[in-house]
Structure 1
Amino acid sequence: MRLQPQRHTMQTEILVCFLLFATCQCLPFYNGFYYDHILNNSSSNGNGDVVHFNGVKLVVDTPEDALFGYRGGNITLPCSFHYEPKLQSPRRFRVFMVQIIWLHFTGQIHGFYYCFTDQIFLSAGVVFPYQPHHGRYQLNFHDAKKACEAQDAMMASFEQLFRAWEEGLDWCNAGWLMDGTVQYPITLPREPCGGKDTAPGVRNYGERHKHLHRYDVFCFSSALKGKVYYLEHPDKLTYAEAKEACEQDDAKIAKVGQLFAAWKFLDFDRCDAGWLDDGSVRYPIAFPRLNCGPPEPGVRSFGFPEKHKQFGVFCYKMN
């Protein structure tokens, strides 16, 4: 990169300060709500920035010493980063750089710069709210993590929940996220959900006590490794009979995360309620129509009926 000399004037200093302010204050702002978890949990080690993302540190380093160049010459501005601990899967990111350049009276060009990154999360999947059979707001953080894992899913991150909200997820019950915060997405503001006069957005309760506080949870399920299907059976089944029927078909009763993934990625559509592994009864609608629930696509839920009640069943079979 070729550097052109500039006069070191007060006007230049003001312009540079404005540029730094405008560039560094770049946390996303959405509809009146912005997520400040990164801001509140960032720190600096003097050599660069350390930004925490859900327990992973993104360390961005630039050299401590000033860089020197000469008129007409080229100069390299080093900027390096790494994750602590090292990530198992790569994340896509963008690197931004702000430069402050002036001409020293000796004719040397002095350059100082600030380097930072903006991460782009590319994990494909579906976010769904989950509460266990014993009702609303029964899970502490650790129970919530286990509940998602039991349904072939994992706790959602804020980035995943925010993307789901952008795609239309609206859920008025607060749920745990993997960073220990409790939040919920609202696309249609209303009185029980923060007030009808508030803007749409992801409502944030902040970090809560992981043992004492209890909420629901937002789970994240990625693409399927197998097949979810509605078992054609001559009779409706109790929960025990449903599990046995799947096993007789060389399959297992499907889990909630598997049903959501099939609905999301394969447009799985069935207007028949069926048992799932956790004892809930649900059915997926990819193409809304009369007599199949609301006019929007989604996974409909009958809750947790008594297990002697009779329904169909969704099974899961590995490829």
Structure 2
Amino acid sequence: MLSLWRPLLALSLHVLLLLLPPGNCQMFGYNNGFHYQDISNGNGNGELYFNGIRLHVESDHPSVSATRGSSVTLPCHYHYEPELSTPRRTRVKWSWLPASVIAEPVASPAFYRESEVMVAMGNRHRSYGSFRGRVRLRRSAPGDMSLVINELQLNDTGRYRCEVIDGLEDESVTVELELRGVVFPYYSPKGRYHFNFFGARKACHDQDARLATFEQLFTAWEEGLDWCNAGWLADGTVQYPITVSRSGCGSEDLAPGVRNYGPRHRHNHHYDAFCFSASVKGSVYYLKSLAKLNFTEAVQACLREGSHMAKVGQLYTAWRLMGFDLCHAGWLADGSVRYPITKPRKNCGPPEPGVRTFGFPPLDMKFGVYCYR
């Protein structure tokens, strides 16, 4: 019986839509992002083809980089072709796939599920999770749905999706967010190759950093990072960068590059770590003192200043991103002794720029101290 009525129902709907002006179709709940300008086409099975206005969502830049603690704008604009004479009601949704998730080589599609950042319709909006209170839409012009993120955090990096929904039509574009920062090798106070994957991840976190991605390590290698000790990366692989081929670092016959041990057992295998740290809003400074300090005295000296001892990641970002240069060895919070050199000179270590390290000397030895405020 239903099969007998279906042609009559389709014909009635066909005639009704033809009699209505295109804009009035919405009064019956038909709003899928098209104007129903040509309804005469169909496949004879009740499915109608609509020709009319199309929704387009675009971004001026597929990737954006910024500094930690700053504000950043992820561009997203939408428009219709041809242009509309009157505005239409749209819903905008921003979602996010963290860089740490993208780096993980897992098989389950559910692992790559995006998290909501913000949804907006008209003047109403809602933000979610760690983005709550830190995000807004720029709305500098009609169709501008660019996302502004304030107080950028170390874990905000990743792939952001701008999705514009107009009735049944749904278009989106993605923008990659990266933080400008620095990759540095890190090993345990106990010596080389003491971290399993989880220990390496914690060690980086303790130094105001995180495990570097392969892309970050590769960029650091291109910029001259040379380190002949293998370290964990965020994807669970173990690699190390070599700019000058030599014996014991792969082989003298191998071309320079990033040496790759591939994925290793995350619990049982032990290596160093390659950490990534981005710039911070505070400042790292060397505490001027007439006397050198042991580690305990150094801790108290920074506290009296209203500061804390600087972490390794903070010293590296001050050196790399702020040009911090000082030829004085000082304690850091992890018990290591280091100093930053941007302009190599006599009696200040090797002829290349870098953060010099004395390793982890006995805690009763006397040095200066680097504080962070």
Which TM class, normalised by the smaller chain length? 0.5 to 0.7
> How does the TM-score come out when normalised to structure 2?
0.56
**CA distance in structure 2 between the partners assigned to 1:135 and 1:176 by the alignment:** 15
**Which amino acid counterpart does residue 149 of structure 1 have in structure 2?**
H
The Cα shift of 1:85 comes to 3.0
Runs of 4+ in 1 over 2 A off after TM superposition: 55-58, 83-93, 117-123
**Which amino acid counterpart does residue 224 of structure 2 have in structure 1?**
G
1:55 aligns with 2:55: no
Q: 1:85 aligns with which of 114, 137, 144?
A: 114
Q: What's the CA shift string for 1:273-312, capped at 9, x where partnerless?
A: 0000000000000111111001110000000000000000
**CA distance in structure 2 between the partners assigned to 1:227 and 1:280 by the alignment:** 19
Q: 1:252 aligns with which of 304, 308, 315?
A: 308
Calculate percent identity across the aligned residue pairs.
58
The Cα shift of 1:184 comes to 0.2
Q: 1:127 aligns with which of 183, 188, 191?
A: 183
**CA distance in structure 2 between the partners assigned to 1:246 and 1:279 by the alignment:** 14
Partner residue of 1:154? 210
**CA distance in structure 2 between the partners assigned to 1:246 and 1:314 by the alignment:** 8
Partner residue of 1:316? 372
Partner residue of 2:297? 241
Partner residue of 1:211? 267
The 1:92/1:193 distance shift into structure 2, 3 A limit, reads farther
Aligned residues: 221
Q: 2:287 aligns with which of 225, 231, 243?
A: 231
Partner residue of 1:188? 244
- Conserved 8 A contact 1:57-1:85: no
Moved more, 84-93 or 205-214: 84-93
Partner residue of 2:200? 144
* Structure 2 gap segments, 5+ residues each: 1-100, 117-155, 162-172
Q: 1:261 aligns with which of 293, 311, 317?
A: 317
**Which amino acid counterpart does residue 172 of structure 1 have in structure 2?**
C
The Cα shift of 1:132 comes to 1.3
**CA distance in structure 1 between the partners assigned to 2:174 and 2:346 by the alignment:** 44
| SS, match of residue 53 in structure 1 | helix
- Conserved 8 A contact 2:330-2:370: yes
The 1:176/1:118 distance shift into structure 2, 3 A limit, reads farther
1:306 aligns with 2:362: yes
Q: What's the CA shift string for 1:198-238, capped at 9, x where partnerless?
A: 10000000000000000000000001120000000110000
Rg larger for: 2
The Cα shift of 1:92 comes to 8.6
**Which amino acid counterpart does residue 85 of structure 1 have in structure 2?**
E
Q: What's the CA shift string for 1:92-127, capped at 9, x where partnerless?
A: 99xxxxxxxxxxxxxxxxxxxxxxx99977431100
1:175 aligns with 2:226: no
**CA distance in structure 1 between the partners assigned to 2:307 and 2:287 by the alignment:** 10
The root-mean-square deviation of aligned C-alpha atoms, in Å, is 2.5
**Which amino acid counterpart does residue 53 of structure 1 have in structure 2?**
I
**CA distance in structure 2 between the partners assigned to 1:178 and 1:281 by the alignment:** 26
Partner residue of 1:107? none
**CA distance in structure 2 between the partners assigned to 1:199 and 1:119 by the alignment:** 34
The 1:139/1:119 distance shift into structure 2, 3 A limit, reads farther
The Cα shift of 1:253 comes to 0.5
* Structure 1 gap segments, 5+ residues each: 1-51, 59-82, 94-116
